Amino acid sequence: MLNLVSAPLQNYFLPNDIGISALDCTEAFRLLSPREKLYAHYLSRSAWYGGLAVLLQTSPESASIFVLLQRLFRKQPAAQLESMATAAGLSPEEYQAFLVYAAGLYANMGNYKSFGDTKFIPNLPQEKLKALVWQSQAFQDSPSEMEALWDSCSTLLFSLEDQQKQLGLGDKGVTTYFSGNCCLEDAELAQKFLDSKNLSAYNTRLFKNKSEGKASYEVRLASAVNAFSFLKSPVSVITRCGRYDFEDCVFTVSRGDYAYLMKKVSENLEKAKDHAANENQKRMLEEYAQSFTFGSIEAHKEGSRFWIKDKGPIVESYIGFIESYRDPFGSRGEFEGFVAVVNKAMSERFAKLVSSAEVLLPELPWPKDFEKDRFLLPDFTSLDVLTFAGSGIPAGINIPNYDDIRQSEGFKNVSLGNVLAVAYATQKDKLTFLDEEDKDMYIKWKGPSFEVQVGLHELLGHGSGKLFVQDEKGTFNFEQDNVRNPETGEQITTWYKGNETWDSKFSTISCSYEECRAECVGLYLCLNKHVLSIFGHEDEDAEEVVYINWLNMVRAGLLGLEFFTPESKSWRQAHMQARFVILRVLLEAGEGLVTLKESIGKDGRPDALITLDRSKVHTVGKAAIERFLCKLQVIKSTADVEGGRALYEGYSAVSDTGSHNFLHLRETVLLRKEARKMFVQANTRVKGESVELVEYEGSAAGLIRSFTERFADDAEEVEAHLLELNKRDASCWC
């Protein structure tokens, strides 16, 4: 059965041989002082509790599936449950498929891939999984509860109806950021309302109904307190809860989303505060706790200001509703929290890059008026991740995402060293679409080149560029009469007004567009010899790093086709859309810089070959990226939404016409794709007056065990509250 499924159906299974690696942080944790270990422990607990909110942010069924799995594996670890699987009629391959599915649910914090937003289902018949559940010890102990739990999620667990195959708004997919009756027009109206009240969408969800014949919307803030709480907000905490009439509609701003989880987050932040290393950390945690207690983004922004001031901490962390990639409208943040320990040797390289930033910024291809008035030197550290709670783990981060803070107060960059070490290790026989000579160089130089790209992408990509703003008082942050558009030579005619932000203006394209701009900065500045020398690359080695960095980008652009959905003509992953756009730009540059040809592989199946002429990277390639990058920045600076959409959506188009049949190439990419790796993370446990690190093997069983032990002390309470939170809104998704 497992080998006979159709190719399209195969795309919704996680393969049994998927890569699963343990994130090693043993040495980093060992070197911490007892106080630092306690600080890291309580921050980790806070992150893990908050990370459960992602289940509720992903799909209507994710939380119920999570609880079902937790109850199965808490009663019987994977090895013990196997005998039940055999009794239920599962083959060894089918039981492994179930373990891989469970591991995938935990790793993605839901049943949609965090990278690509595609649904995945168990690679075994539904009746066999049901038989396993019925055979389990959990079912024997609580048959009625387990049957009810199965009934609540089993249909959606296996369903592949068109709308349920991917995340999206309205008829384009599934989302729980909006009630099921919302469409793009509702999202746009809600954004206008939020802007009018100077409210951020980051920690909100939107629910639509009817009231007195009018369209009525609930903007619900994530907070521990709700309408029934007797706890009053401090004067400094602004949430603007209440009822408002707006454009012939009614908007109600309420609190209490994920209330139980936000309470657990805040409680553990308060415990961490007792072990903070300095006043900045204490103030940071106080403000974060206020934010999660009362639903205030302003408090979170204040906490982020103290976080920026906390330079060079041994234990680094960040927590909140951060990245908006998975909101179909691009404004609402998914919860994430990380705790990591500084890797001093690697951090020294990034510190050198930071110190060179003010020299490198003028090298970027836009006039100085389009650059920030003052570059605020950020922290840039390499970290070994102890905890990363959320739907996935990135290679690098540039935060906070608040435009006003980034523009005038600064930011931090982090590169996640132990993630890079295992995520991008590549086997030659699994390298697709490259010729044999390139494969050998790719394996040797992929790690070093990606380290350079991540550093440039995060620091000088996301950290560069100015937004032209006219504030609520009418004051401009640029010389309106003198600044000229370098593309047209004319005066600037558009800019951000009042409470408008990059995300609110560019909404659905904002995430991918910004990732594309940052990737282009990385490509452009990696050609700089000084940059390469900072990372220890000179002469021929430096040229190999440049070549593989550019080759990796164009190959990634081809691989990105996996994340395009032809039926809705939409992209499901911001970074991969960005890389496809860059591939289009470099193909368009011509002169043989990049060639892309379809072929037949040695196995007789469709294949493709992408090549890069290294002799033209510094000339044809550089000129193409220079022109495109300048356009991207000018459009972003001037809030030219119309121009930005035309440019970016044009390059993002995937069709079967033109010089390359990208729709056909997409089928080849899907045929030869490799599943994204999953990570097993350690737990921390207080034992007496010390904290011990509990590690797990890099396997599906190890990943599962890490989650069942993660909430061992209050598992039943956590699961009950998750089901209650899920049930509260169940009728909203129909």
Q: pLDDT for 97-142, tens place per residue?
A: 999 999 999 999 999 999 999 999 999 999 999 999 999 999 999 9
For residues 658 and 650, what is the distance between their CA atoms, to the nearest angstrom? 13
pLDDT score of 2: 33
Is the pLDDT at 78 greater than 60? The verdict is yes
Is the pLDDT at 6 greater than 60? The verdict is no
- Count CB neighbours of 83 within 10 A: 11
For residues 552 and 574, what is the distance between their CA atoms, to the nearest angstrom? 17
pLDDT tier for residue 374 given thresholds of 50, 70 and 90: confident
Looking at 581-639, which runs of residues are DSSP E strands? 594-600, 606-612
Strand order, beta sheet including 242-246: 204-211, 214-222, 249-257, 242-246
pLDDT tens digits along 390-409: 999 998 888 999 988 988 88
CB contact at 8 A, 226 and 261? no
530 is in an annotated binding site: no
pLDDT score of 1: 32
Is the pLDDT at 230 greater than 80? The verdict is no
Q: Is the dihedral of CA 378, 384, 388, 392 positive or negative?
A: positive
Q: Residue 655: which residues within 8 A CB-CB, separation 6 or more?
A: 662, 663
pLDDT tier for residue 5 given thresholds of 50, 70 and 90: very low
pLDDT tens digits along 282-310: 999 999 999 999 999 999 999 999 999 99
- As a whole number, the mean pLDDT across the chain is 93
Contacts 24+ apart (CB under 8 A), 41-44: 41/684, 41/685, 41/686, 41/691, 42/268, 42/269, 42/271, 42/272, 42/275, 43/268, 43/269, 43/272, 43/315, 43/317, 43/319, 43/337, 43/339, 43/387, 44/339, 44/386, 44/387, 44/683, 44/684
Report the candidate in 2, 25, 10 with the shortest Cα–Cα distance to residue 417.
25
462 is in an annotated binding site: yes
457 is in an annotated binding site: yes
- Residue 68 vs residues 58, 94, 106, 156, 196: alpha-carbon distances, Å: 17, 18, 12, 13, 42
Question: What number is the average pLDDT over the span 510-539?
Answer: 96
pLDDT tens digits along 620-678: 999 999 999 999 999 999 999 999 999 999 999 999 998 999 999 999 999 999 888 99
Q: Considering the chain, what percentage of its residues have pLDDT values greater than 90?
A: 84
Residue 458 annotated in active site = yes
pLDDT score of 234: 63
pLDDT score of 212: 74
Question: What number is the average pLDDT over the span 23-37?
Answer: 94
pLDDT tier for residue 429 given thresholds of 50, 70 and 90: confident
pLDDT tens digits along 547-566: 999 999 999 999 999 999 99
Q: State the DSSP H helix or E strand holding residue 353, giving kind and residue range, or none if neither.
A: helix 344-355
Of how many residues is the chain composed? Answer: 734
Question: What number is the average pLDDT over the span 173-184?
Answer: 96
Amino acid identity of residue 26, one-letter, is T
Catalytic residue among 61, 286, 323, 458: 458
Question: What number is the average pLDDT over the span 414-429?
Answer: 82
Report the candidate in 509, 441, 456, 442 with the shortest Cα–Cα distance to residue 646.
509
